[in-house]
Amino acid sequence: MMFPYGRLSDIYNYINKHDYVSSDRLASKFHVTDRTIRGDIQEMNGILSSHGAAIKLKRKFGYYIEITDPLTYEKFKEGMETIGSDSMELDSSQDRIRYILSMLLFASDYISLEQIMDTVYISKNTLSNYIKTIRRILDKYNLEYITKPNSGIKIIGTEDDKRRCIMAHVITSDNDSYITGFTKEERLLFQNVDLDYLKQITLEELKKRNIDISDYNLKNLIIHLALMITRVKSNHYMTIGDIETDYSIMAIISSLCEQIESHFDIAVSKGEKFYMYLHMVTNTHMDATDIDDEWLKRSILESLEIIYRNYSFDLRRDEVLLTNLFRHMKSIFTSKSFGLNIRNPLLNTIKNNYSLAFEISLTAFSQVFDTPPFTLNEEDAGYIAVHICAAMEIFISKGLKKKNVILVCGNGPAALRMLEARLGMSFEGQINIVSTISYNEYMNLEKEGLKDVDCAISTSPLNDGRLPCITVDFALKNKDIESIARFLSTIDVSEKEKKSGFFEKDLFFRLKRVTNKNELLTMLCHSLEKEGIVEEDFIFSVLEREKLGSTNMNELFALAHPMSLCAKDTKVAVALLEEPLVWSQDEWGQEETVQIVFLLAIKQEMQKDLVHLYDSMIEIVNNSKLQQRLISCESFEKFITEFHGILPV
């Protein structure tokens, strides 16, 4: 690739097709600022300078290409024209870091810095920054980065550690196309492996033995096999010691090995067969370990007990949940017992859309499963959260109370019966019609007759003020159904009032600059303590939760909270930051910042408060324009006004 990422190639091609192009025109076409265009031009000139050309700016006309060495430039243009499907897309810094990492991990010898710069088309300074990130990644896998004068750089370490690093940081399994086929990047990475053949024989072996496997796990298994074949072809072998194996699983491995050895002309060693065995067990969820089933069942129940005790969601008798959690967690710990950690490609989606279930799962289960190898990370908690979320939905739906309704109709028994039937069909599960009476009968009802009645639906106006009431046509037209739906949602205190009550002016802060995350959390906790909402040890629970995993939901918004519901009231302390605050680091070692911080303090046995709050937070996470508006709020009143915008009327 002649330029390091796609936008530069597009800008170059656009300028090349025109005599002059203004900066405004380029900024508008490529949806960036003038400043970004100037930076892009500077980066492009760093590359073009060694290829006989430069992009120049002529006042009042725009950018144009000045050729200084026609022969050299012609070769560059030919290279640009031949770039196509056989090139890796390197559109972002992560793409380029991933590509350099793969070069180093797959290399058998030293690679010079010049070779890397020429391949990826980056400057020495840029490469130096990328190397810092790569070294942080390598440290997590016991891999060493070494430099040799006049030779270049090289990664040394065990084959097992190299493969784990490749699977975690070179193979991208978190995109939508991962399970639908083989991506261009995968085919380029494994260009000497027939991936389609590998998929065919793997599926045939599993089907022969009636073994079910998900699309995602099938893809994982094939990619591991492809990695094994690629590494063996370049004489890099696994040296796994003897492990206790299951005969039926080894039969699958033996059959696959025969076909792989014949088709790819390699010899699969004993260590590679064990490598295949581990990933076959992990991805097919076959029972191949001696994990104590009774211990696992007791531990799951203990986790659900913590959820009940701390969050008041009683999921302890949900047999479907218990069965699903047992099967899934046995699979998780089977992987861990073999030293394997399975990545969760849906983790960010789960955290951002099922954040309450995720938090409950992470905090409750990590308290029980706290001894290696039976410990849980965020990836594991994400999978568990899907099961917990489904069970919570069922629990909440069972607890919803129907509205007790009196139906008042003065148009006669037939009309009354028809109205009752239509209401029953339209609002099944939402209303319970306790009596059907005429207008006169309603007016003569004593106070005792209205006990435990939530509202009245009437074909005639009821102005006595004894009950919330809505007037509808006896034919119950569509507009009446819509009106009733809105009416039922406003009988209780409105959602706006409920959710707005979580915020107070004394718990709202607009801050210019904060030194670090702990300083901010401590200040917010003290503000809650000052208002008598939490005890002084609240901060320790909040910081303990931060150790489990970062609570930033995206690049702007963090949702901090303690390990359990331990407040005297449900409130939210809010900090809006004028300058971004470093909150965490991503897997590439890059800093992640936020500018909106909510610290939740939630009273125990207030599940509805909890659900309402997290529903609102999800709205904020998924609305980038709202986040920007919240950041710009100069006052508590403005903040509440913006917050109201996401709530139902």
User: Secondary structure of 129-162 in the HEC alphabet?
Assistant: HHHHHHHHHHHCCCCEEEEECCCEEEEECCHHHH
Query: pLDDT per residue over 250-300, tens digit each?
Result: 899 999 999 999 999 999 999 999 899 888 888 886 665 667 889 999 999
Residue 241 confidence (pLDDT) above 50 = yes
State the Cα–Cα distance between residues 468 and 448, nearest whole angstrom.
16
Residue 581 DSSP one-character state: E
Residue 648 confidence (pLDDT) above 50 = no
- Looking at domain 6-82, its CATH class is mainly alpha
| Contact criterion met (CB below 8 Å) for 86 and 46 | no
Residue 623 confidence (pLDDT) above 50 = yes
State the Cα–Cα distance between residues 277 and 243, nearest whole angstrom.
10
Strand 431-437 to strand 370-371: parallel, antiparallel, or no bridges (unpaired)?
unpaired
Q: What fold characterizes domain 497-644?
A: Mannitol-specific EII; Chain A (3.40.930)
State the Cα–Cα distance between residues 280 and 331, nearest whole angstrom.
12
State the Cα–Cα distance between residues 291 and 282, nearest whole angstrom.
14
Architecture of the domain delimited by 403-492: 3-Layer(aba) Sandwich (3.40)
State the Cα–Cα distance between residues 400 and 427, nearest whole angstrom.
14
State the Cα–Cα distance between residues 479 and 462, nearest whole angstrom.
19
State the Cα–Cα distance between residues 310 and 567, nearest whole angstrom.
11
For the segment 321-337, the average pLDDT, to the nearest whole number, is 85
State the Cα–Cα distance between residues 106 and 370, nearest whole angstrom.
36
What is the percent of the chain where pLDDT is above 70?
91
State the Cα–Cα distance between residues 256 and 225, nearest whole angstrom.
10
Lowest pLDDT segment from 227-231, 528-532, 604-608:
604-608
State the Cα–Cα distance between residues 266 and 235, nearest whole angstrom.
10
Q: Report the residue count for the chain.
A: 649
Angle between helix 93-106 and helix 159-169 axes, rounded to 10 deg: 160
| Contact criterion met (CB below 8 Å) for 594 and 557 | yes
Look at the alpha carbons of 117, 5, 345, 626 in this order and tell me if their dihedral is positive or negative.
Answer: positive
Residue 645 confidence (pLDDT) above 70 = no
Phi and psi (nearest 5°) for 596?
-120, 125
Sequence-distant (≥ 6) Cβ neighbours of residue 331 within 8 angstroms = 282, 285
What is the percent of the chain where pLDDT is above 90?
35
| Contact criterion met (CB below 8 Å) for 626 and 553 | no
Alpha-helical runs (H) found in 549-585:
none
Q: Tokens at residue 478, please?
A: 């569509």
| Contact criterion met (CB below 8 Å) for 423 and 433 | yes
pLDDT at res. 487? 76
- Looking at domain 93-169, its CATH class is mainly alpha
Secondary structure class of 458 (helix, strand, coil) = strand
Q: What fold characterizes domain 293-399?
A: PTS-regulatory domain, PRD (1.10.1790)
Residue 355 confidence (pLDDT) above 90 = no
CATH 3.40.50.2300 residue spans of the chain: 403-492
- Cα angle value 416/420/423 (rounded, 5°): 140
| Contact criterion met (CB below 8 Å) for 73 and 81 | no
Lowest pLDDT segment from 207-216, 264-273, 396-405, 445-454:
396-405
Residue 181 confidence (pLDDT) above 50 = yes
Residue 13 confidence (pLDDT) above 50 = yes
Q: Tokens at residue 569, please?
A: 């009231």
Angle between helix 93-106 and helix 113-120 axes, rounded to 10 deg: 140
What mean pLDDT is reported for the chain? 85
State the Cα–Cα distance between residues 543 and 558, nearest whole angstrom.
14
Alpha-helical runs (H) found in 140-246:
159-169, 184-189, 195-208, 215-233
State the Cα–Cα distance between residues 555 and 620, nearest whole angstrom.
12
For the segment 7-29, the average pLDDT, to the nearest whole number, is 85
Any idea which residue has 């125990």 for tokens? 604
Q: Which amino acid is at 308?
A: Y
pLDDT at res. 498? 55
CATH 3.40.930.10 residue spans of the chain: 497-644
pLDDT at res. 649? 38
Residue 449 DSSP one-character state: G
pLDDT at res. 602? 83
pLDDT at res. 575? 95
State the Cα–Cα distance between residues 399 and 281, nearest whole angstrom.
40
Strand 144-148 to strand 152-156: parallel, antiparallel, or no bridges (unpaired)?
antiparallel
**Which residues partner with 64 through β-bridges?**
56
| Contact criterion met (CB below 8 Å) for 257 and 270 | no
pLDDT at res. 285? 66
Lowest pLDDT segment from 399-403, 528-532, 584-588:
399-403
For the segment 117-128, the average pLDDT, to the nearest whole number, is 82
N-term to C-term CA, the chain = 53
State the Cα–Cα distance between residues 503 and 490, nearest whole angstrom.
21
Architecture of the domain delimited by 184-284: Orthogonal Bundle (1.10)
For the segment 478-482, the average pLDDT, to the nearest whole number, is 79
Residue 313 confidence (pLDDT) above 80 = yes
Strand 557-560 to strand 591-601: parallel, antiparallel, or no bridges (unpaired)?
parallel
A 10 A CB-CB count for 593 gives 15
Phi and psi (nearest 5°) for 354?
-130, 50
State the Cα–Cα distance between residues 286 and 358, nearest whole angstrom.
26
CATH 1.10.10.10 residue spans of the chain: 6-82, 93-169
pLDDT at res. 412? 77
Confidence (pTM): 0.61
| Helices and strands (DSSP H and E) totals, the chain | 27, 14
State the Cα–Cα distance between residues 401 and 388, nearest whole angstrom.
22
Q: How far is CA 230 from the centre of its chain?
A: 31
pLDDT at res. 494? 46
What pLDDT band is residue 493 in, cutting at 50, 70 and 90? Answer: very low
Give, in order, the Cα–Cα distances in Å from 429 to each of 397, 399, 422, 423, 481: 10, 12, 13, 11, 15
Sequence-distant (≥ 6) Cβ neighbours of residue 520 within 8 angstroms = 511, 514, 575, 581, 597
State the Cα–Cα distance between residues 507 and 570, nearest whole angstrom.
12
What pLDDT band is residue 548 in, cutting at 50, 70 and 90? Answer: confident
Residue 31 confidence (pLDDT) above 60 = yes
State the Cα–Cα distance between residues 352 and 347, nearest whole angstrom.
9
State the Cα–Cα distance between residues 159 and 394, nearest whole angstrom.
47
For the segment 475-484, the average pLDDT, to the nearest whole number, is 79
For the segment 486-503, the average pLDDT, to the nearest whole number, is 62
Pick the closest to residue 325 from 278, 249, 398, 389 (CA basis).
389
Secondary structure class of 392 (helix, strand, coil) = helix
Query: pLDDT per residue over 134-178, tens digit each?
Result: 999 999 899 999 999 989 999 999 999 999 999 988 988 766 567
Residue 437 confidence (pLDDT) above 60 = yes
